[in-house]
Structure 1
Amino acid sequence: MGGVTTTSSELYPVARLAEVREATIRAGLGALLLTPGPDLRYVTGYDALPLERLTCLAVPAAGEPFLMVPRLELPAAEHSQAARLGIEFVAWDETDDPYEEVARRLGAVGRVGLADRMWAMQSLRFRAVMPEAEQVLAGSALRELRMRKTPAERAALAEAGAAIDAVHTLVPSLLKAGRTEREAGRDIAEAIIDAGHTRVDFVIVGSGPNGASPHHELSDRVIQSGEPVVVDIGGTMPSGYCSDSTRVYCIGEPPAEFAAYYEVLRSAQEAACAHVRPGVTCESVDAAAREVIAEAGFGDRFIHRTGHGIGLETHEEPYIVSGNTEPMEPGFAFSVEPGIYLPGKHGARIEDILVCGETAGERMNNTTRALVVV
């Protein structure tokens, strides 16, 4: 596979910078300061290296935006999507203080939004040069934009979903009794790249009792005949958008206890996916899955939220969890991944990425949700 279904200009439109400036004003901020990470990439398309040298996009509520960039990173910036924006690139040299220069250019601002993933050392430097400015998260301005995926973003997520689906179709050939989780995980990671991702973000292979740990790391445990294996995998595509999908496999016939609660889990995941539509709350999607599991007597074995948003980050807003009363809107993208975990025995989780459409949810993952017997 490989390539992207949409062009970079569609994913990172020039008009987005004006939208972000308007959002900055609505949030009551004097400026946004975006360092390398998902916020900067969302606004500019520039996947800048996170370095101790400051790269920072400043978006003032009044005045023109500019990009502070170390001189040695200037060629990369000039060849990035940010070059289409028509903003000033301010190159700084090794003996300059880029923080002071940002502060000087912005002037007095009452509140400043810092990139949600900004390093502490950078936020503290900005506090030192702008001591009167209240620091808040840039998400206060950007969250409404980033949560509502555009058609181009939805297409990128669909491509990511198809790529990780292609990996799951290969997984049965990689899970064999006698192999270790690490050996299988190494081959799965290679398949993630071969399917078109530029980066492997995570590979979970939880065999037997390790399947009861939702974020189990690969280990040297040998996969045994007759036990379930939870495989949760994801990566980042050339577009910058992420994949994430979990399926469960069994090496031979599954234990009767496991087979029974796996069917409960399938029903719960289906109920949550069917519940998705504009207007329902995020917490009601969580409840739709949780009620099925609780009614079957496994309520205390479902130990995490039902899902998380996804886009330029594997985990972002909105979160599908009790207490989140935000109503679904077209363009929301998130996982639906209920799980049942029996410590010391085994566990299971089924995960798809969904995008809320105009009337219902659309799955980005389409491999079988049935237990796959290897």
Structure 2
Amino acid sequence: MNDTPAPFTEQDYAARMTRAARDTTEAGLAGLLITPGPDPTWLCGYRPTATTERLTLLVLTPRSEPRLLVPSLERDDAEAAPGANALRISDWRDGQDPYAAATGLLLPNGRYGVSDTTCALHLLGLQALPLTTYRPLTVVLPLLRAVKDAHEVARLTAAGAAADTAYEEILAARFTGRRESEVAADLARLLHEQGHSQVVTVVASGRNSANPHHSRATGRSRRATWWSCTSAAGRTATTRTRPAQG
């Protein structure tokens, strides 16, 4: 990607959290409870170094500023997130009740949307607050992350163009007689050269070429009639199929 768009800024994340909090009112919710996964990464730029049994919770409500509750050992990482200055961060220590700290941020009798990836341990802990109810985020706000702003569209366009360029370059490589894993490694290298930072490649040949989720690259050479190449960046994948030509 020769003209890589600028990284998302604190203002971008602040705007997303503001829009999400505003949308809760229209959906009849008291707020959103966001746990580790793609949601907090998109909303505030925070991606925990590891997903553990410790509670990490982003709370968005229309009547207060965004709040991020993290284990104390993760606070430094949270404060380094690109959207950290747009929210208030608090922490809890081992030996303390994290759900007591979390429910202090919620309203009794509130109806909340929760990340689909929230584990049962945390959801059951949050239910200690009397009369609160919870609904999956993709049910109550299905378009929250689906609606892209101009900055996101520009980045998706650049990522797609880079994938197109990498595919055109891989067509010049020899396919016949090579292992799927060898072609996949070439494709991954080309995607990195085009600016992708997170790359997953799936290369399948012969009868495997009809399966874009083929995950067991063969270690033996093939004389295949068809090859398919899948490249993925983040949560977006593109699959192309071509006849073997050499």
| Interval of TM-score (by shorter of Structure 1 and Structure 2) | 0.7 to 0.9
Residue 78 of structure 1 aligns to which amino acid in structure 2?
E
Deviation at 1:210, TM superposition (A): 0.9
What corresponds to 2:157 in structure 1?
158
What corresponds to 2:93 in structure 1?
93
Mapped to 2, the partners of 1:150 and 1:10 lie a distance apart of 15
Residue 251 of structure 1 aligns to which amino acid in structure 2?
A
What corresponds to 1:215 in structure 2?
213
Mapped to 2, the partners of 1:4 and 1:48 lie a distance apart of 25
Show the 5 A alignment for 1:149-188: 149-188=148-187
Residue 59 of structure 1 aligns to which amino acid in structure 2?
L
Deviation at 1:132, TM superposition (A): 2.5
Mapped to 2, the partners of 1:3 and 1:11 lie a distance apart of 21
Q: Share of identical aligned residues, percent?
A: 31
Residue 66 of structure 2 aligns to which amino acid in structure 1?
P
What corresponds to 1:291 in structure 2?
none
Mapped to 1, the partners of 2:11 and 2:182 lie a distance apart of 36
Moved over 4 A (4+): none
Tell which deviates more after alignment, 117-126 or 155-164. 117-126
What secondary structure does 2:192 align onto?
helix
- Partner deviation per Cα, 1:35-75 (whole Å, 9 max, x = no partner): 12221122212233333222211113444431101112111
2:237 aligned with 1:244, yes or no? Answer: yes
Change (3 A) 1:174 1:53: farther
What secondary structure does 2:90 align onto?
strand
What corresponds to 1:232 in structure 2?
230
Contact 1:161/1:243 (CA < 8 Å) preserved in 2?
A: no
Mapped to 1, the partners of 2:244 and 2:64 lie a distance apart of 62
Change (3 A) 1:134 1:115: same
What corresponds to 2:6 in structure 1?
6
Contact 1:206/1:213 (CA < 8 Å) preserved in 2?
A: yes
Contact 1:29/1:61 (CA < 8 Å) preserved in 2?
A: no
Contact 2:21/2:61 (CA < 8 Å) preserved in 1?
A: yes
Mapped to 2, the partners of 1:62 and 1:37 lie a distance apart of 25
Residue 85 of structure 2 aligns to which amino acid in structure 1?
R
Contact 2:9/2:83 (CA < 8 Å) preserved in 1?
A: no
Change (3 A) 1:114 1:61: same
Mapped to 1, the partners of 2:61 and 2:11 lie a distance apart of 23
- Partner deviation per Cα, 1:168-223 (whole Å, 9 max, x = no partner): 122224442221112222332233333222222x3221211111234222321533
Contact 2:10/2:85 (CA < 8 Å) preserved in 1?
A: no
Change (3 A) 1:8 1:213: closer
Unpaired runs of at least 5, structure 2: none
- TM-score w.r.t. the length of structure 2 is 0.87
Unpaired runs of at least 5, structure 1: 237-241, 253-373
What corresponds to 1:361 in structure 2?
none
What corresponds to 2:19 in structure 1?
19
Mapped to 2, the partners of 1:7 and 1:177 lie a distance apart of 40
- TM-score w.r.t. the length of structure 1 is 0.59
Mapped to 1, the partners of 2:196 and 2:152 lie a distance apart of 16
What corresponds to 2:74 in structure 1?
73
Deviation at 1:114, TM superposition (A): 0.8
What corresponds to 1:59 in structure 2?
60
Tell which deviates more after alignment, 152-161 or 72-81. 72-81
Deviation at 1:90, TM superposition (A): 0.6
